[in-house]
Amino acid sequence: MHIEMIVLIGICLGLLLLLAGIRRQIKKINRVLDEIIAGETDRRIIIKKSSFLSDTCYKFNQIMMDNKERIIRTKRQERRSEKLMTSLSHDIRTPLTSIIGHLDAVHYQYIHGEMNAESVRQAREKAYVLKDYLDDLFQWFKLNSKEEKAEMEPLDIVEETRAVLAKWVAAFERNGISYDFVSDTDEIQTSMDRIFYERIVNNLLKNAMEHSGASKIWIEIVQTGITVAVKICDNGMGIPEKEIPFVFDRLYKADDARSSKGSGLGLAIVRELVLLQEGKIFVEPRKKGICFVMEFPILENKKGTVLP
């Protein structure tokens, strides 16, 4: 009996010590929580790995780190959104002011004859510029909110690309730009969203015509194994090497090289539309000019072989 009492007392003392230790740890945790509530979001609970509460504290610290990352991303997104709205507000206000000025001059008959017609022409031109801004903005917000879904369908990328390029021939000729189309095969079947792909090619051709200062723009299509590469190239001023990692960032404008005209959303939209179709896009510098290279998977038949 005497030994049993000693063992029982020992167990009780051990439990008391354990409870006292847990109590101290809980007090320590509460102090850290109070500091976090007060705004010290960098605080973490430091506790011995052998502690009874170590797993709980580890999970809590992980939650705090994840929450901090979310806060950082949210603040970064807010800053980008503010920058986007500031930039677009300025860019939209400029053509809108010009449109109002030209139309007021016509309406109040401040000008007459040929000047009247010229003012209407300039107002119309600025209205199309404004429409392009709004189209880009609407497209970006749809992509950013994940509302856009690619409707994939079999597509001959060679024929589709040639058809889109053909619509630019008149604009290239008006601007004194030569053009070319090169493909190592007459047909390459892919699975793509036709509307998205047309938007991509149109954006890249427009970017080359308006911002590169090029005298020649061309498209190359090359089949490489199970993928197809579409290259849209120009012989213009190119993009400085230090700027290349940022060309697909929202609001990017390479002021030192290509024209700063535009919303700064075009290439960001292109990247998102490419990614939605399981493709990838990157920049390939040249000695003179630049190539935007897109790669997409080639469509396979039911037996798993690549279609010609």
CA distance 128 to 138: 15
Is the model's pLDDT at 1 over the cut of 50?
yes
CA distance 250 to 144: 11
What is the Cα 255 distance to its own chain's centre?
A: 19
> Which residue type, as a one-letter code, is found at position 37?
I
**CB-based contact 213:225 (threshold 8 Å):** no
Is the model's pLDDT at 308 over the cut of 90?
no
CA distance 129 to 140: 17
Indicate the SS3 state at residue 147: coil
Indicate the SS3 state at residue 223: strand
> Which residue type, as a one-letter code, is found at position 183?
S
According to the model, what pLDDT value does residue 87 have? 66
Indicate the SS3 state at residue 224: strand
Residues 6+ apart with CB under 8 A from 217: 172, 177, 178, 179, 205, 208, 209, 232, 233, 234
Q: Read off the pLDDT of each residue in 276-303 and give the average, rounded to a whole number.
A: 84
Is the model's pLDDT at 301 over the cut of 50?
no
10 Å Cβ neighbour count for 291?
20
Tokens at 185, concatenated: 């095969």
CA distance 193 to 162: 16
pLDDT tens profile 62-100: 777 777 777 777 777 777 667 666 766 767 777 888 888
DSSP annotation of 300 = B
According to the model, what pLDDT value does residue 130 have? 83
Is the model's pLDDT at 109 over the cut of 70?
yes
Q: Read off the pLDDT of each residue in 1-21 and give the average, rounded to a whole number.
A: 70
What's the whole-model pTM score? 0.63
The stretches of 108-216 forming alpha helices (DSSP H) are 114-144, 157-166, 169-174, 194-211
Residues 6+ apart with CB under 8 A from 224: 295
110 against 221, higher pLDDT: 221
pLDDT tens profile 226-270: 899 999 999 988 888 888 887 887 555 544 444 445 556 778 889
pLDDT tens profile 219-235: 999 998 889 999 999 99
pLDDT tens profile 20-64: 666 777 777 777 777 777 767 677 777 666 676 677 777 777 777
According to the model, what pLDDT value does residue 304 have? 41
pLDDT tens profile 142-190: 777 777 788 899 999 999 999 999 999 999 999 999 999 999 889 999 9
